[in-house]
Structure 1
Amino acid sequence: MEHIALYRAWRPQSFQDMVGQQHIIQTLQNAIREQRVSHAYLFSGPRGTGKTSAAKVLAKAVNCERGPGPEPCNECPSCLRITAGNVMDVQEIDAASNRGVEEIRDLRDKVKYAPTEVRRKVYIIDEVHMLTTEAFNALLKTLEEPPSHAMFILATTEPHKLPATIISRCQRFDFRRVALEEQTAHLSAICEKEGITADVNALQYIARLSDGGMRDAVSLLDQISSFTDGKVTYEQVLGMTGGIPSEQFARLATAILEGDMGLLLELVEQLMHEGKSADKCLENLMYYFRDLLMIKMVPGADQLTERVLNPAEFKDMATAFSRDRLFQIVDTLNKYLGEMKYATHPQTLFEVALMKLCSLQQDESETASAAPLGALQAGSGVNAPAVHSGELDLLKRQITALEKKLEQALQSGGISGGGRDGASSAKSNPTPSSAPRISATSKMPPNVDKFIAGKDSPDFAAIYKQWSLVLQGVKEEKVTVHAWFVDGEPVSVMDDAVLVAFKNTIHRDTTEKPANRQVIENVFAARLGKPYRLVTIMQRDWNEAAQKSVGQPSKEELRLEHEHDTADAKSEPWIDEAIQLFGEDLVVIKE
């Protein structure tokens, strides 16, 4: 007698035969019992979970001669012929090979004719997501308003590829992956009926490998039982599927924990001699460490582990690794597993991955040993060079820069000690080129009297003539600096300093930033023939000082000016905000 594959021989013929989809079975049975069967259903879910089988059982239930009832009798001529596929009114269409618009148009033309053999016409369209867009459009109207004698059952593993207009016209049922206990119990029942002797551990491992697909589990059982002559053991399942016993995983994990690269390489060589594939070994090892992580972090993780069948036996191994260490191992193995598919020599990459794990363990040990030394140095007043040496160096540089800026501010008179001493100090010290501005609106440059005396000197006249060249040079160096600097106008020169008066506070403050000042002073040296320092002043302050020097009273000048000249920063806050958001290099200001 011809052998029939187990997954075909044990295909569900009634709702009660289905495994793991109780929520769908109960809904369909209630709908049949109450005569509320829909005209269109969508069955979606992973492969091997019973979508097509449920569709055929539903077709028998609505057409059973003793029904319709919640279960088909599987004895009447209609049920027997539908099971055998001999009823023309119940059609199973493979959408992968009949995906064109012509096939769907032919279906649409024939669906309007009444059934000739059974009560209702049933169209089961498998892998419906393979239909073309034109075919979906042709099916749409018929699916929305089919004849009263017609029923459509669409099955797919990828429901996200279906148009929303199709999904909205169907009752959708999502098939779940079958639970491990249900799969194991069903496999045990099959073994008992088929006369197969199987260990519980072997059936559990088969169920785990099937990834929730009942058909895959039954097919794997059929294959292994043929190889083992009806006696299925855990070791035989491992040998057939290329799996690795959890004890070997434990040996690999111990070698990684101890950093023993020699033992690791010996174990890899042993696995290769046993005919294991490097990529499968790496994948299984990653799952093993994933199981250890589950055992460590989740109490009662018996149902969450995949490669460890007895989690209680491996709690000591999970305790030996820290959580961060396990996360790091899984991340590293996952990275190498992604590279393995493109590797010319997978075994070499597998060995490198294991040695990488050992080297990470050694790095952790070195860091742990360096930590007490760093703490000792910190307690004795010595800077710890271990982990935060870069941050300490950065802090040192920042403190040094702040001290330098504070000293320069004191020398320039920006911060005075109070009273007349502070004022005299401000007048007696020149401003260094890199001195920061403390308050641009109130600070007068030092030696302003000397600048007033030099405002009509030949040196200033020469610089004034070449000022357009200076502006051009600044623009060539950095156009954003030019946009701020162009607001200033040279008013005097003294020794090695050029005094520039600004109308706008924002322009003056931005120009005096150290980086911008450096650009301008470099252009001074290149275009004016000698190095000059940049000294700035507000135009109002310069006019007032110049008038006082000739004995004229300070008068309020009445003139029309731009709003930003009088309102300063308040009228152009967006300029500062743009610079803070994008940086000076990306901001261009056009008058």
Structure 2
Amino acid sequence: MTHIALYRTWRSQAFRELVGQKPIVQTLQNSLREQRFTHAYLFSGPRGTGKTSAAKILAKAVNCVHGPAEEPCNECEACIRISQGSVMDVVEIDAASNRGVEEIRDIRDKVKYAPTEVRYKVYIIDEVHMLTTEAFNALLKTLEEPPAHVIFILATTEPHKLPATIISRCQRFDFRRVSMEEQVGRLAYVCREENIAIEEEALHYIARLSEGGMRDALSLLDQASSFAVGTIAASDVVAMTGGLASDQFEKLVGSMKEQDIGAALELIDQFMQEGKSADKCMENLIHYFRDLLMIRLVPDSSVLTERVFDVARLDQVASRFGTDQLIAIIEVLNQYQSEMKYSVQPQTILEVAVMKACGAIASGGGSRPAEAPPASRSAGEPEPEALSQLTRRIQQLEEQLAKLMQGGVPAAGAQQPARSPVAPRSSNAAVRKASVRLDDFTSAVESHHTRALLGKWTQILAMVKERKITVHAWLVDGEPVAIHGDTVLVAFKSAMHRDTTEKPANKQLIEQVISEALGETLKLATVMQKEWKEAREGASEPAREEMTLQAEDSEPDKEPWVDEAIKLFGEDLVSIKDE
């Protein structure tokens, strides 16, 4: 007989078999018992948590020959045929491939007809968030007031993409991720029924990799049973998924703690030679340090004990690190994991991240030394952690003050209002603004150079995105306004986007791309859109015109129209000349 995937074989066929969704099961069973089920349901939650299974079970429960009942019997013809998907009145629609308004109009036209085989017509619309706006509009009225013989069940992993008008017409149930304990229990039951021999540690590892999705866990178990020979060990699952075993992590972390960068890089190269992926190594390394941090902060947490198989062993590793060190390491690794997504050399990024993490360990981060218990300090002596933080803060302030002095900020003895040295932003903005004469650019708005720039700006953005997508994210907020001489002026809506674009590395990349696109060496200057708008308005003001009044055969001081002009325009704007 052809093998059927475990997640299909062991798909829940009754409410009691749904794993990890007890509140939802209880609510649905109570409504079925009291005959108070509604006309529209919305099942939302992560993938593989039982949304579609619950929808099919509900369809069987309301149409069971012995029902509507709390549980379908799964023995009558209606239950069996609904499980097989052969009942015309129970329709399962994939909204990802049937997302248009025509498909929804077809449903709307057919709901008015009574069911022919069972008690209720049930429409299960999976991935409903994929429907178009027009399709949602076509569904609205039918979903609000369907015929008495129709039930709609909408399932989605992204409920935030649904219009509020749709959500308000449904009874919503939020499925949660299945806990580690419940997953391990279900996997152990499936292994017993399928005669699969597996170690308990392997069950925990599979459950952890599935991240709360029961379907993913069963798929991994199915794959592991094909991979392993005999009993499935944790090492088999690690090798199959391309992950790292805990003892390998201990070696790597030990090398990082001892500042043995050479040994750490050799281990990373060994992982790559074994076929491990750099991004998976980075992800698992972050999880490992997170577990170390959790052990330091909440050693007896039930959340931690269900995630980690051997807590005592991990506690020995965690005792070698301070809390601040672990936080600094996680921040470094997380930063480089984001950059790894856009890198063509992920192994190099992983190696740099590990070296940077070694630097974070060396700096200490205010970690608590094991050999200096609190009792050894006098009452007035500051803790080493606070002292270290204070020292680093003073160094930062001194560096920032030196930069301000180089930028031309007066010394402390000058008659200037006191300013905080930690806020040089306004000074930088003032210097930058002074270096750009907007009058020169307002006169160049209509030049052929500016038109060439505007014509190629889309191409410039695309080239920047190819080289570094993070710089593109900041530059896309700007709008090119003019070219004057060898300088391109870009106006920004957001000050944060402008300041990030002005950073030397980012600015150099943008200038290089602009020069390549336009075929000449150009520099980048920035301005806020508000400042640019004010400059344009000032340039468009008409020039002052001089009005001349000529007198004939009379003295200027006796001319009535001169007095009238003074009354109208004021003495400052009227000048009397003798000719």
The CA deviation at 1:12 is: 0.7
The CA deviation at 1:298 is: 1.1
The CA deviation at 1:345 is: 2.0
- Root mean square deviation of aligned Cα: 3.3
The CA deviation at 1:197 is: 0.3
Unaligned stretches of 5+ residues in structure 1:
370-374, 376-383, 406-433, 437-475, 477-585
Q: Is the 8 A contact 2:5 2:219 kept in 1?
A: yes
Distance 1:75 1:320, change over 3 A: same
What whole-Å deviation, never above 9, does each CA across 1:443-499 have from its counterpart, x for those lacking one? xxxxxxxxxxxxxxxxxxxxxxxxxxxxxxxxx9xxxxxxxxxxxxxxxxxxxxxxx
Q: For 1:65, what is the secondary structure of its paired residue?
A: coil
Distance 1:168 1:274, change over 3 A: same
Determine the structure 1 residue equivalent to 2:283.
283
Determine the structure 2 residue equivalent to 1:145.
145
Determine the structure 1 residue equivalent to 2:274.
274
Which aligned pairs between 1:342-353 and structure 2 lie closer than 5 A? 342-353=342-353
Which aligned pairs between 1:502-513 and structure 2 lie closer than 5 A? none
Determine the structure 2 residue equivalent to 1:165.
165
Alpha-carbon distance between aligned partners in 2 of 1:349 and 1:243, rounded to the nearest angstrom: 18
Determine the structure 2 residue equivalent to 1:113.
113
Determine the structure 2 residue equivalent to 1:101.
101
Determine the structure 1 residue equivalent to 2:332.
332
> Deviation above 6 Å: which 4+ runs of structure 1?
365-369, 384-387, 392-395
Q: Is the 8 A contact 1:284 1:307 kept in 2?
A: no
Amino acid paired to 1:166:
I
Determine the structure 2 residue equivalent to 1:36.
36
How many residue pairs get aligned? The number is 398
Q: For 1:320, what is the secondary structure of its paired residue?
A: coil
Q: For 1:70, what is the secondary structure of its paired residue?
A: coil
Determine the structure 1 residue equivalent to 2:208.
208
Determine the structure 2 residue equivalent to 1:316.
316
The CA deviation at 1:315 is: 1.6
Which of structures 1 and 2 has the bigger CA Rg?
Answer: 1
Q: For 2:319, what is the secondary structure of its paired residue?
A: helix
Alpha-carbon distance between aligned partners in 2 of 1:234 and 1:385, rounded to the nearest angstrom: 46
Determine the structure 1 residue equivalent to 2:184.
184
Distance 1:66 1:435, change over 3 A: closer
Distance 1:301 1:313, change over 3 A: farther
The CA deviation at 1:359 is: 2.8
The CA deviation at 1:302 is: 5.1
Alpha-carbon distance between aligned partners in 2 of 1:268 and 1:261, rounded to the nearest angstrom: 11
Which aligned pairs between 1:178-577 and structure 2 lie closer than 5 A? 178-229=178-229, 231-301=231-301, 303-304=303-304, 308-364=308-364, 388=394
Amino acid paired to 1:95:
A
Q: Is the 8 A contact 1:302 1:311 kept in 2?
A: no
Q: Is the 8 A contact 1:208 1:306 kept in 2?
A: no
Q: Is the 8 A contact 2:96 2:130 kept in 1?
A: yes
The CA deviation at 1:229 is: 4.2
Q: For 2:78, what is the secondary structure of its paired residue?
A: helix
- TM-score, L = length of structure 1: 0.63
Q: Is the 8 A contact 1:128 1:154 kept in 2?
A: yes
Distance 1:307 1:26, change over 3 A: closer
Alpha-carbon distance between aligned partners in 1 of 2:393 and 2:134, rounded to the nearest angstrom: 63
Amino acid paired to 2:128:
V
Determine the structure 2 residue equivalent to 1:543.
none
What whole-Å deviation, never above 9, does each CA across 1:504-563 have from its counterpart, x for those lacking one? xxxxxxxxxxxxxxxxxxxxxxxxxxxxxxxxxxxxxxxxxxxxxxxxxxxxxxxxxxxx
Amino acid paired to 2:361:
Q
Q: For 2:284, what is the secondary structure of its paired residue?
A: helix
Amino acid paired to 1:118:
V
Q: For 2:361, what is the secondary structure of its paired residue?
A: helix
What whole-Å deviation, never above 9, does each CA across 1:78-108 have from its counterpart, x for those lacking one? 1111111111011101111111111111111
Determine the structure 1 residue equivalent to 2:66.
66
Amino acid paired to 2:38:
S
What whole-Å deviation, never above 9, does each CA across 1:12-40 have from its counterpart, x for those lacking one? 11111110101011111110110001011
Q: Is the 8 A contact 2:321 2:367 kept in 1?
A: no
Unaligned stretches of 5+ residues in structure 2:
370-380, 382-389, 418-433, 435-534, 539-571, 573-579
Alpha-carbon distance between aligned partners in 2 of 1:311 and 1:173, rounded to the nearest angstrom: 35
Q: Is the 8 A contact 2:180 2:307 kept in 1?
A: no
Alpha-carbon distance between aligned partners in 2 of 1:116 and 1:232, rounded to the nearest angstrom: 49
Amino acid paired to 1:200:
E
Determine the structure 1 residue equivalent to 2:50.
50
The CA deviation at 1:324 is: 1.0
Amino acid paired to 1:339:
E
